[in-house]
Structure formats: structure tokens, C-alpha cells
Structure 1
Amino acid sequence: MKKSRFEIINPSRFPFFYGYVVMVVGTLGVWASLPGQTVGVSIFTDPVKDAVGLSRDQFSTAYMIGTLMSSFFISAAGRWFDRYGARIVAAASALVLAFSLFLASIAHKLTAGVVSLVTFDHWVIPFTVMVLLFFMFRFSGQGVLTMSSRNMVMKWFERFRGRVNAFSALSISLGFSVAPVIVDKLITSYQWDGAWRIMGVFLLLMTLLIILTFRDNPEKYGLIPDGKKCKEGSKAIESKPLRSFEPSEAFRTRAFWMYALMLSFNSFFITGFTFHVISIFETSGYARSEAVAIFIPIAVVSVATSLIFNFISDWIRLKVLLYIMIAGGLLASFGMGLISSTNGVYMVIAGQGIMGGMFSVLNAVTWPRLFGRKYIGTISGKAMSMIVLASALAPVLFSLSHTRLGNYEYIAIPSVLFVIFVGLASIKANNPRLPA
């Protein structure tokens, strides 16, 4: 089989199944998206807002608008993935993210330059600059690089998809957990602008690694998913070849919308809660230290849930996993309504942990399981756009619950109603590739 023009590594001649290389570099690709993730941006909030001359509210609003804008373009990126493949799309997104980091490192200078050019000094100028930068961060990092890296891994595995995703999800969770400490040290040692430049250099190196190692389909190299054929009598869900759905077919199924809506609710609830966590706990009579400490038990529940259900997801129907996530959503939502009590806090911890763990399972295995691998980019891209949109709206709606209604607990009412709706509507959300 012919190697492509820019191909140095040929998977068909590798000493072992190349899918395991894809698993590792795909995980690294998601790690590299950190500068575009909320956890990677939030550490820069205080020094950057002061440097460009924005208030906390203005800076947060710029982040929200940039995120909203990115959600409208991620579906297109999914189509690019299906058309051009993982390597080209991931490399391009890593390069754009690197470029946006270099631009962000001179955001204060860009603002000053625009002010001198238009001879008009107003907060709207740095606000607009940050909106555009956040759009680039969120679109290239959280959106395209994450989606293309994760989808590539899922295309190389079928029967072992859950077990492979268990490794990837655990690695990503641990990586994102220690990342804030590392980024904070970079800011302390090299200032916020130097930290962004260092991260930009890392993204350039990651772009090179992507070009060298990312590969789109095992069939292109005469290989098959999982590296070997399925044994006769296998009980794995993906043990039989099934057709891939066209995107238009997928979007007409109840299953697509129910899974996408529940994944989006997870993004909404966790983003809104995290964004306002200090204020939520202080208004409920807890100390700031208690608010920060809540993420440790949530992470423990999330990682345990992710590991267990990723490993067994190869043998369990998706709807069972979906209802476990729905149960977590209900638990977290009711807990939010009782957040001023100890029981409410425990419910939020358990609910968010279950939802977060199941998110890492379902966001990876759902789309190839339900609709096949051929158009996984377009289909998952539409779902990702909904997820990003939900994360953009969450901080504002949580804030309105507090400022207009007087308490964060009121956000529990629409949350509970929404999750109940998804639960009821999902009763008939069957896998369209399997007999009813």
C-alpha cells in the first residue's frame, strides 16, 4: 500500500498495532488543548484583565461571547474532520492555537496600538480584542483539537473502544488536574505573557508531533480496528459490522438529540457551578476553603465512575450508561436546591462526579456506537457545538438566579425539569443500528 506524500511513519509496517500509538498521541492532543479549556484560561484571569484594563465582569463577558461564537463554527470543523482527516485538522487547530497564544501574550500591546490608531480610549477596545482571542482559544483548543484527537482514537478501535477510552480519560483527568499548578508556576516565573509564549512554543512542537504520528483510518493501511478480527461468539456490542449513518440520518434520530442534550447539560451544570463556586458556598454559609476543597471528592467520584464504566462499556448498551448519567444529573440538581445543607453538598459531589465520569465515557463512545465511524466528525461536531454553547450560557444563568431571584438554589428548578424531560424522552432513544 502506498504511503501518502507527507508520511514518514507507515502504520502497516509498525512492529505492533499502530492503534496504541494513536491512543497515546491522541491523548496528548487533548492535553495540548489545555490553553483553550476553561481550566487553562481561568488562571490567567486576574493578571490579564488588569493588564488590558477590563473589570472582572467585562472579562468574563468577553469569555462568554468568544465561547458562544466558537460554538457556531464547531459543526463545520466536524465536516472538515470527515473530509480532510484527523492529521490535517488537528495540526491546523494546534497551529491556530499556538498563533492565538502568541497574539494573546501581546494583548495589552495590541489594545494600546488600536487605541493610538483610532484615538479613542474606551473599555470596548480591549473587550473586543479579548473576545476575538477567546474565540480563537475556544474554537481551536476546546473545540477542534479536542474533537479531532478524541475521534481519531475512536476510529482505530471498536470492540476495545471502552477500555482504550478508560486509559485516555484517566490520563486526561490526571493531566488537567496537575495542569493548573504547572501553569501557575509558569506565570509566577515568567509573567502571564511569558507563560502564554511558552505554551505557544509547546503547541508548535505538538503540531510537528501531530503531523508525524496522527493517522485517520486503520483500513487505509490494510489494518482493521482493534488490530485483529473478532472471535466467534464474542459478546461485545461492536462484534458485528454495522453500516455508518449519514449525518442527515443521524440528526433525525431521537437518540442523537437525547445523548447530545444530556452531555450538554453536564457541561452547563458543571461550568456554571465551577464558575461561581466561591460565591455559591459563601452565600450558603461556607468558607472559601470549603468551596475549593469540594473539587477533590468530585474528582475522586468522577475518575472512579469513568474507569469502571469505560471498561465495561464494551458489553453494556448505551441507554444503560445514559440513564446512569441522568441519575447523576438529577442528584446534582436536587443537591443544588439544598446546597445550604450538608446533605445538599454531598448530593452535588456525588451527582457531579457521576455526571463527569459518565461524560468521559459517553462523549467518546456514543457517536461511533450509534452511527458508525465514517461521519464521526460531522456528527460529533454538532454535538460538541451544543456542549460548548451550554458551557457559554451557564455562568450567566447561574448568576441571574443569584442576582435576580436572590439565591443560586433556584437554578435547581429548571435543572431538575430539564433532566426529567431528557429521562422521559430517552425511553425510546434506542440505538438505530441495532434491532429494537
Structure 2
Amino acid sequence: MPFLTFLKSNFRWIAGGFLLTFFSTVGQTSFMGGSAGYLRAEYGLSNGQWGLVYMIGTLCSALTLPYLGQIVDRYPARKVALFVLPMLALAATLMALSHHVLLLVLTVYLLRLFGQGMSPHLAYTATARWFSAQRGKALSLVILGHNAGEAVLISSFAVLAGWLGWRGGWLFYAALVALFALPAVLALVSVERQPGSGEVNPRVVDARDWSRSEVLRDPLFYLFMLGFMAPGFIVTVVFFHQVYLSELRGWTPGIFASAFVVWAFVNSIFTLLSGQLIDRFSGLALLPFVLLPLGMAAAMLGFVAAPWAPFAFMVLVGMSAGLSTTLFGAVWPELYGLKHLGSIRALGISAAVFASAAGPGLTGYLIDIGVSYPGQLIAMGLYCVFASLVFWYVAKTARARNAC
């Protein structure tokens, strides 16, 4: 099906998923990291202490997600959105109004659970169910909401913070989620799409439908997690400590914020490219290659102190993020089928959230005790090489298992 025809025929579902991922930015590390300087100054926190607050809130989110994430298997997308988006707006409001560190922990928990966790979880799971033969194309378009959110919301927050103050900026986005995103998403996803409608070729790469208990007994799941958690850990660490790295390198304070435009552009290109590649080759076939640009990005940022390093990092990590986000959304059905996709994917996302929670706290602690942060980044790059080898084994084993 031609691209424009596909988009026109499926606009409401693509747009609904796009808005969910777009506004999930409010709970993402890349967005919250822009407030790190304000928060540390307001609450009198060190890098390690702010990392601990972030880690506690995110860990609690990770523990909640496997249970809450199951609702996408039980209720239609509209009903889930009616719960998730108001909670995200409430979390952003609490960030604007909080004056106590305990309330800050609760705020981080809610932002991570309903921003980073449930909003994209709903978008990806619903899209994977709504589409079959052109699942990669559909997911790539929905995932562009992340890129657009990072390009628009992060840069505009810096302007709003200068105009309204950082608390006013958070309050503005809370209102935007409640008054625009919520009614728009509810209208767009009010009708469930039937998978396969308008698609010519049936999809044959999906696995049989595994139950959640079967997945927990599958050794391949835990091997897959070794690589699946890497992007969340590494990207979260870099964005979380962007201010500290800029101070360490002597870069201008806004250099990472300005580089997000590069990230969004490259990410968008590779998100669309990955959708086409997945529909042609399958997600499992591409799995061993997805972490290599991320490894190069982390190692480069550890070695290079020049002012162009953040921009080069954004190019490489944009490539990896564009490939991995779409690919991981497509790989879950290829590993474990569709029937219990929401519950199974929630397990993986919980592990990824756990990794993103552990990253800032662990690296913040290591920074506080004198461990070189650039050295930590180089180690992360080497880990990506190891995880790529693990992914090669996972893909090979899963394809053989699906063929039986």
C-alpha cells in the first residue's frame, strides 16, 4: 500500500498513538533533565541526591508497571487513555506545586509511571494489535511522536521557563495534556481498528501466543532483557547528567538542548527507515545491529571533549533510538505472539524502567565518590558490543523456534 494511502486510511489510529507518544515526553528523562538545575537549586540536592530521588520514583514506577500495564489487555484503548492522560496531567501539576522533597519523589513516580511508562505502552501495544502486515510502518509513524515531542516540548520549555519560571512551564504542560491531548486522543481512538483490514499480505513472523507465566520461565526472555535494557540505561544517564557533563567539559549550558534538534531529525529518519526494514526483513533479523550506534555514541562522548561532541552523540544515538524503538515494538509479537502482548510487554518495559531508574542513581553515586564519568560512558559503549552478540543469539534461537 502506498505510504500516503496508508496514512490516509489509518489516520485516526496513527494520530492517536502519535499524540500519546508526543505527550509522554513530559515524563521522559530528556524533558525532566532540563529541570535538573532548577530542582537541585530549589531543594538543595547534589547530583547524587537528585539521582537518588529520581531512582526511587522510577523504581517504584517499574514495580507498578507489570501490574498496571495489564489493563491494556483488558480494556479498549479509549478507556485506558481516559485514565492515563489525566494522571499524567496531575503529575505535571504536582511538579509545578511541590515544595517538599517527599512530594518531589511522588511527582517523579507519577511522571515516570504515566509519562515514560503507560503512555507509550498503550500506544505501542494498541498499534501492534491494530496492524499486522504493515506493523513496522504503523509503529514507526506512532513513534515519531517521541521525536516531535523532544524537538518541540524540550526546546519550548527553556523558553517558557525564562518567561513563566520553571514551575509555570510545568503548569503550562499540565494544562496542555488535560485540555488538548486528552480530548483529542479519546476522539481518535474511540473506534478500535481490526487488524488486517486493508492489508494484502498476511504477516507470518509472529510467534505462537505465549502466556505471561511461560515467558517468565523462558531463558531467552532474560537474555533479550540484557540488550533491551541498555538504551534506557545509557540514554537516561546521558540526558540526566547533561548539565554535569557540560560543566565537566566546559561547554555552554544550553548545548545539549540545542543538539536535540539534531536528535529529532536523525531519529525521525531512522524511525521511518526502520519501519520499512521491519516490514521487509522482520524485527528479529535486524535485532543484532540495533545497539551498535548507541555503543559508538557512548564511547565517543566518553573520549571526546570538543564542543561538537554532543551533536555527534545526538546523530549516533538518534540512529540507534530510531531503529530500536520501532524494532523493539515489533519484536515482542515475533517472540511471544499477540494475545497477552500487553502483560508481556509490561514485564519488559518494567525492566527497562528499572534500568533507567538505576542509571542516574548509580552513576551519580560513582561521580560523588570520584569515579570518572567519561570512563563510565566508555564502559557503556563496550557493553553495547557485548549485548549485540547476545541479540544475535536471541534472534537465531527465536527464528528457529518459530519455524518449528
Which TM-score tier does this pair reach, normalised by the shorter chain? 0.7 to 0.9
In the alignment, structure 1 segments of 5+ residues that lack a partner are 1-15, 109-125, 219-223
Q: Any residues of structure 2 matched to 1:131-280 within 5 Å, and which? A: 131-205=105-179, 206-214=181-189, 217-218=192-193, 224-231=194-201, 238-239=203-204, 243-280=208-245
| Structure 1 pair 335–215 and aligned structure 2 pair: CA distance change class (3 A) | same
Please say if 1:435 is aligned against 2:403: yes
| Structure 1 pair 259–21 and aligned structure 2 pair: CA distance change class (3 A) | farther
Q: Any residues of structure 2 matched to 1:95-114 within 5 Å, and which? A: 95-108=86-99
1:300 CA drift (Å):
4.1
Contact 1:302 1:356 survives alignment (8 Å)? yes
Return the alpha-carbon distance in structure 1 between the equivalents of residues 322 and 220 of structure 2: 20
Please say if 1:415 is aligned against 2:380: yes
Return the alpha-carbon distance in structure 2 between the equivalents of residues 282 and 215 of structure 1: 48
Return the alpha-carbon distance in structure 2 between the equivalents of residues 154 and 255 of structure 1: 21
1:72 CA drift (Å):
0.8
Contact 1:331 1:347 survives alignment (8 Å)? no
Partner of residue 63, structure 2: 72
1:336 CA drift (Å):
4.5
The DSSP-based 3-state class of the residue aligned with 1:374 is: coil
| Structure 1 pair 242–104 and aligned structure 2 pair: CA distance change class (3 A) | closer
1:354 CA drift (Å):
2.9
Return the alpha-carbon distance in structure 2 between the equivalents of residues 308 and 196 of structure 1: 34
Q: Which moved more, 1:368-377 or 1:40-49?
A: 40-49
Which letter maps to 2:121?
A: M
Return the alpha-carbon distance in structure 2 between the equivalents of residues 329 and 361 of structure 1: 15
Partner of residue 365, structure 1: 330
1:342 CA drift (Å):
9.4
Which letter maps to 1:213?
A: L
Deviations 1:53-81 (A, max 9, x none): 43354444322221121111111122122
1:385 CA drift (Å):
0.9
| Structure 1 pair 262–217 and aligned structure 2 pair: CA distance change class (3 A) | farther
The percentage of counterpart residues that share the same residue type is 23
Return the alpha-carbon distance in structure 2 between the equivalents of residues 85 and 344 of structure 1: 44
Return the alpha-carbon distance in structure 2 between the equivalents of residues 240 and 265 of structure 1: 25
Return the alpha-carbon distance in structure 2 between the equivalents of residues 241 and 412 of structure 1: 36
Return the alpha-carbon distance in structure 2 between the equivalents of residues 32 and 371 of structure 1: 28
| Structure 1 pair 214–300 and aligned structure 2 pair: CA distance change class (3 A) | closer
Return the alpha-carbon distance in structure 1 between the equivalents of residues 28 and 330 of structure 2: 21
Return the alpha-carbon distance in structure 1 between the equivalents of residues 311 and 41 of structure 2: 36
Return the alpha-carbon distance in structure 2 between the equivalents of residues 163 and 143 of structure 1: 22
Which letter maps to 1:104?
A: M
Return the alpha-carbon distance in structure 2 between the equivalents of residues 131 and 180 of structure 1: 22
Partner of residue 4, structure 2: none
| Structure 1 pair 375–45 and aligned structure 2 pair: CA distance change class (3 A) | same
Return the alpha-carbon distance in structure 2 between the equivalents of residues 292 and 99 of structure 1: 25
Contact 1:401 1:410 survives alignment (8 Å)? no
Contact 2:297 2:317 survives alignment (8 Å)? yes
Greater per-residue helix proportion = 2
Normalising to structure 1: TM-score of the pair?
0.78
Partner of residue 12, structure 1: none
Partner of residue 386, structure 1: 351
Which letter maps to 1:391?
A: S
Return the alpha-carbon distance in structure 2 between the equivalents of residues 343 and 189 of structure 1: 29
1:415 CA drift (Å):
2.5
In the alignment, structure 2 segments of 5+ residues that lack a partner are 1-6
Return the alpha-carbon distance in structure 2 between the equivalents of residues 299 and 105 of structure 1: 26
Which letter maps to 2:189?
A: F
Contact 2:150 2:264 survives alignment (8 Å)? no
1:160 CA drift (Å):
0.8
Normalising to structure 2: TM-score of the pair?
0.84
Deviations 1:332-362 (A, max 9, x none): 3443452347998797455423321222222
Q: CA RMSD in A?
A: 3.2
Which letter maps to 2:390?
A: A
Q: Work out which of the two has the higher radius of gyration on C-alpha atoms and give 1 or 2.
A: 1
Return the alpha-carbon distance in structure 2 between the equivalents of residues 301 and 181 of structure 1: 17
| Structure 1 pair 98–343 and aligned structure 2 pair: CA distance change class (3 A) | closer
Among 33, 37, 55, the alignment partner of 1:42 is: 33
Return the alpha-carbon distance in structure 2 between the equivalents of residues 167 and 192 of structure 1: 31
Return the alpha-carbon distance in structure 2 between the equivalents of residues 297 and 386 of structure 1: 28
| Structure 1 pair 343–325 and aligned structure 2 pair: CA distance change class (3 A) | farther
Deviations 1:30-69 (A, max 9, x none): 2222322223333444445555x43354444322221121
Q: Any residues of structure 2 matched to 1:41-60 within 5 Å, and which? A: 41-47=32-38, 53-57=43-47, 58-60=49-51
Which letter maps to 2:358?
A: L
